[in-house]
Every structure is written in C-alpha cells, then in structure tokens.
C-alpha cells in the first residue's frame, strides 16, 4: 500500500494505488454470496480497505448518489463518494480538522483500533450546484479477509427523522403556548370576569386544559420513544395518589354515566417513581376502562402491596376480544379504528422503560378486564 507522507489533521492520509485497489477488490468479490448480501441491505453499504477506500458499494448507496454502477466511487473514501464539502481539502476525507468532529471519521478511527462503532454524522455535500445537509447514522465493523484488513461500513440516511423531530418540537412549543394562553385567559374570565362570561369561560377552560394535557401526552410519548424523556422520582403514597387521580376524573366529569370507585385499604408503603409518568399510565388505563364500559357500569381502581412491590389495578366489566388481547400493546393497534391505539402502547413503554415495572392484564367473561401495573416498592431513592 502507498503510505507516502501527506498532510493530515486526523486520520492517516496514505492511500492504496489503483493497481492495489483492483487487486483488493478482486479478492473481496471472491467472497461467497457477497453480491447477494450487499444487495439485500436497504441502507447504503460499502466495503473499505485499510486506507478507508471503497472496494465495493451496494445498490442502495448507488441509488442515493444517482449512480448506475460502482465505478465512480471505487477507490474513493466515504466523504468523497458523498462529495462532502471538506473532502477536497488536505489529503481528502478524514484528514482535515473538521474530520475530528465527524461521526463517520470517528467510527472509522474506532475500526482502525479494532472496535465496532456507531455514531450520528452530519455532512454538508455539494449537490445540484449548491449544498445539501445530510444526517446519517453510520456504523462500522472491522474484519479480516485474505490476510487483509477491511471495514464493513453502513450509512443510513436519518435526515427526515431529524427534520421531523425539529418540526415536532416547534409544533409542540407553539401549540402549547397557544393552548396555555387560552387556558389562562379562560381562567381569568372564570375568576374575575363578569357573571355572564363565566358560563362561556368554563367550557373554554376545560377544553383548553384537555388540549394542553393531550399535547403534553403526545410529546411525552415521542420523547419516551427516542430516549429523551427525563424522569424525576419522588416518594409516592399509593392511596393518596389514587385519590388525587380519581378526583381529577370526577372534577372533569369524564366518567359521564359510568361510576368510578376506589377500593383500597390504607397500607404503610411507598414507592419512588416519577409521579407525572405514573399518573399518565394510570390515567390512560382508567380512560380506556371508561371507554370500554357501558352506561351504569363501574370502573374500579385500587392497589395492593406484596413481596416488596406495589401493584395498581384498574378493572371494568367488559371483556376484550381475542384479537385485541393478542395485539393490545402494539404501537398502532386499536380496537377503536384507524389512527388510534397509542394509549396502551404508551402505558407499556412508560411503565417498563421509565418506571422500572411491568404491565399485564387478565380478561375473561366471569371477571371482566383488569390491568395491573407492578412497580418496586422502596423506602429510599
């Protein structure tokens, strides 16, 4: 390999010459089923030599670069194949001061050290006479074949996901401000406005309050899925906590013609958990139980303490169909129609990932349906 001295600010600058590339590429192409393997991966994949030069690229990467065959990228480094704006500086991709902070270059550095690695990579490319910003998730796996070092390098375009998250944050921020302002205005009318305005202000306040709670709930779910949700554990006493939740449902008259009943005895036990998340979990279960109940029926909530754990329960008389029982926790499944179904999915996600517990249920004609949320009981954080 040609490792002549060249200026670099990060990774080695030396490259294999065209004859060496041809020889290395021929060796890789002799790998059994390599074309089938590469072609079956939906993300962009390249096989690199020890100098980070491309020996082989899969069809997904070629489509992303609007190429008909591999020849234009063979011998190039990843940033050069994507026409990174820094790839023409110094000795090419990986050798500039900008490359020190590039996720792709950092992954390749890890591979040189024999480590499998994955990072996000932000790259600005030359495109159609201008520039385009890409967000990539890249990961690399070093391997040896034919007594030569190679890297299997995968590049997944996550630009649309990043843009969606930015738009979601803007939406939630602006919508929460609007709904919150409407709620404050209605509250002022309720307490300080003329008597004739209060009848109008009350439903406005309740509607705005429900809207704020709904927006926060969806934002919380998205943050939970992306691992961005922060938790603040506090000491919770189960009985007063359930009474507070029950009071919120009664205050808003959400139950309608259905009754809500608390069945729990006073027990000297507490648990440390994020009260907002636990309230969301139990609130979703109560809401689902109310929606499944017929007028005149009762939804019962309670808890029991045993074996160092607290188990909350929400019960209603309805029985879930078999199809629902087997799919109830799936993200997009709903017995209520298309576009619903996040309630119980979020219950499980929040319970298992952020409360450190588990959620399960029983449903049969004799006993109806009961959901259980089992959490560890502790006396200290």
Q: What is the 3-state secondary structure (H, E, C) of 191-205?
A: HHCCHHHHHHHHHHH
pLDDT in tens, 260-308: 999 987 677 889 999 989 998 999 899 899 989 999 999 999 999 888 8
**What pLDDT does residue 372 have?**
97
**What pLDDT does residue 341 have?**
44
- Report the alpha-carbon distance of residue 308 to residue 17 in Å, rounded: 67
**What pLDDT does residue 381 have?**
45
pLDDT in tens, 298-339: 999 999 988 889 999 999 999 999 888 888 887 666 665 443
pLDDT in tens, 136-154: 999 999 999 999 999 999 9
- Nearest of 262, 343, 278 to residue 310 by alpha carbon: 278
Return the SS3 of 366.
coil
CB burial of 332-350 (b: ≥16 within 10 Å; e: otherwise) equals ebbbeeeeebbbbbbbbbb
- Is 214 in the same domain as 251? no
- Is 291 in the same domain as 368? yes
- Evaluate if residue 4 carries a pLDDT over 50: no
Tell me which residue range forms the domain holding 306.
233-376
Residue 8 lies in a domain: no
- Is 352 in the same domain as 338? yes
- Is 153 in the same domain as 60? yes
Residue 6 lies in a domain: no
CATH number reported for the structural domain that contains residue 93 in this entry: 3.30.450.20
Q: Could you tell me whether strands 271-274 and 148-157 are parallel, antiparallel, or unpaired per DSSP bridges? A: unpaired
- Evaluate if residue 173 carries a pLDDT over 90: no
- Report the alpha-carbon distance of residue 82 to residue 166 in Å, rounded: 24
- Is 244 in the same domain as 119? no
What percentage of the chain has pLDDT greater than the value 90? 56
- Is 258 in the same domain as 371? yes
Q: Of 226, 243, 270, which residue constitutes the final position of a domain?
A: 226
172 pLDDT band, cuts 50/70/90, is low
**Mean pLDDT, rounded, for 104-126:** 94
293: left (phi over 0), alpha (psi -120 to 50) or beta: beta
- Is 301 in the same domain as 314? yes
- Report the alpha-carbon distance of residue 118 to residue 103 in Å, rounded: 8
* pTM exceeds 0.85, yes or no: no
- Is 266 in the same domain as 357? yes
Structural domain count of the chain: 3
Residue 262 lies in a domain: yes
Percentage helix, strand, coil for the chain under 3-state DSSP, each rounded to 5: 40, 25, 35
Q: Of 157, 184, 214, which residue constitutes the final position of a domain?
A: 157
- Report the alpha-carbon distance of residue 238 to residue 244 in Å, rounded: 10
- Is 220 in the same domain as 331? no
Residue 372 lies in a domain: yes
- Is 177 in the same domain as 208? yes
Dihedral (Cα; 68, 73, 78, 84), 10-degree rounding: -80
- Report the alpha-carbon distance of residue 202 to residue 186 in Å, rounded: 7
Q: 29-32, long-range: CB within 8 Å, 24+ apart, which pairs? A: 29/56, 30/146, 31/145
- Report the alpha-carbon distance of residue 314 to residue 326 in Å, rounded: 19
Q: Of 135, 157, 179, which residue constitutes the final position of a domain?
A: 157
């Amino acid at each position: 390999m040609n490792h002549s001295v060249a200026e670099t600010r990060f990774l080695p600058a030396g490259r294999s010459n065209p004859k060496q590339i041809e020889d290395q590429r021929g060796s890789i192409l002799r790998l059994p089923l390599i074309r089938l393997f590469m072609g079956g991966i939906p993300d962009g994949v390249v096989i690199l030599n020890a100098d980070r030069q491309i020996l082989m690229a899969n069809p997904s990467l070629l489509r992303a670069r609007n190429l008909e065959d591999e020849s234009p990228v063979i011998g190039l480094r990843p940033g050069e194949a994507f026409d990174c704006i820094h790839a023409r500086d110094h000795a090419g991709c990986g050798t500039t001061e900008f490359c020190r902070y590039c996720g792709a270059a950092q992954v390749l550095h890890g591979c040189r050290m024999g480590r499998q690695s994955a990072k996000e990579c932000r790259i600005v490319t030359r495109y159609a006479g201008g520039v385009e910003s890409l967000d990539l998730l890249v990961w690399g796996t070093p391997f040896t074949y034919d007594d030569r070092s190679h890297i299997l390098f995968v590049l997944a375009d996550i630009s649309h996901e990043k843009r969606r998250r930015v738009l979601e944050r803007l939406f939630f921020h602006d919508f929460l401000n609007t709904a919150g302002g409407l709620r404050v205005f209605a509250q002022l009318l309720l307490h300080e406005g003329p008597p004739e305005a209060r009848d109008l202000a009350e439903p406005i306040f309740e509607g705005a309050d429900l809207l704020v709670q709904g927006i926060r709930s969806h934002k919380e779910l998205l943050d939970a899925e992306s691992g961005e949700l922060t938790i603040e554990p506090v000491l919770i006493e189960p009985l007063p906590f359930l009474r507070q939740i029950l009071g919120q449902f009664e205050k808003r008259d959400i139950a309608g013609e259905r009754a809500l009943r608390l069945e729990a005895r006073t027990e000297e036990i507490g648990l440390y958990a994020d009260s907002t998340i636990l309230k969301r979990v139990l609130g979703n279960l109560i809401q689902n139980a109310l929606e499944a109940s017929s007028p005149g029926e009762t939804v019962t909530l309670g808890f029991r303490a045993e074996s160092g754990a607290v188990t909350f329960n929400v019960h209603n008389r309805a029985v879930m169909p078999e199809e629902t029982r087997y799919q109830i926790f799936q993200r997009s499944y709903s017995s209520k129609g298309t576009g619903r179904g996040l309630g119980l999915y979020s219950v499980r996600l929040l319970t298992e990932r952020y409360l450190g517990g588990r959620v399960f249920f029983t449903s049969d004609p004799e006993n109806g349906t009961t959901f259980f949320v089992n959490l560890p009981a502790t006396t200290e954080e």
